[in-house]
């Protein structure tokens, strides 16, 4: 979302081994946050470990999870090929600043008569609360 600003200070958000640039706002705009993460990945040569433009299809514990702590991740790459790999850990990055998502239906949702707003689309939402 173009107007998103991170809701934690740059000092609390930053990695301890890579302080943000002093010129960055205390509460970084998403473009600054992107630049910070991109710089971090470049500085630590991490991009070679990242599979961009992949869709995760499934994440599950391996059969020997209790012993190894390993996870099996099944994914589809940018051209539609499916594969699985085993990892020591999994970090879920849901993209809540960019992609509209609505939660899965919950019991009683069909009875809700209010208006649902996808948080990342709520750029200029005004709420009137009766007294």
HEC sequence for 55-115: EEEEEEECCCHHHHCCEEEEEECCCCCEEEEEECCCCCCCCCCCCCCCCCCCCCHHHCCCC
pLDDT value for 107: 81
Residue owning tokens 């705009």: 29
Position 124 scores a pLDDT of 45
Are 73 and 59 a contacting pair, CB within 8 Å?
yes
* The predicted structure's pLDDT at residue 97: 54
Provide the residue-wise pLDDT of the chain in tens; the chain has 131 residues: 677 888 889 999 999 999 999 999 999 998 999 999 999 999 999 999 888 888 889 999 999 999 999 999 999 998 999 999 999 988 776 665 555 566 677 788 888 777 665 555 544 444 444 44
The owner of tokens 């960055």 is 24
Q: 103 with 119: CB under 8 angstroms?
A: no
pLDDT at position 1 is 61
Dist CA 17 CA 39 (whole Å): 12
The Cα–Cα gap between 72 and 127 comes to 43
């Amino acid at each position: 979302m173009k107007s998103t600003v991170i809701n934690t200070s740059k000092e609390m958000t930053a990695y301890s081994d890579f302080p943000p640039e002093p010129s960055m706002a205390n509460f970084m705009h998403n473009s600054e946050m992107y630049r910070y993460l991109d710089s971090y990945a470049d500085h630590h040569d991490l991009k070679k470990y990242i599979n961009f433009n992949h869709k995760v299809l499934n994440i599950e514990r391996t059969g020997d999870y209790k012993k190894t702590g390993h996870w099996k991740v099944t994914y589809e790459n940018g051209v539609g090929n499916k594969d699985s790999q085993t990892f020591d850990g999994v970090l879920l990055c849901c993209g809540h600043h960019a992609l509209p998502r609505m939660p899965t239906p919950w019991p009683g949702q069909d009875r809700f008569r209010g208006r649902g707003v996808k948080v990342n689309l709520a750029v200029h939402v005004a709420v009137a609360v009766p007294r």
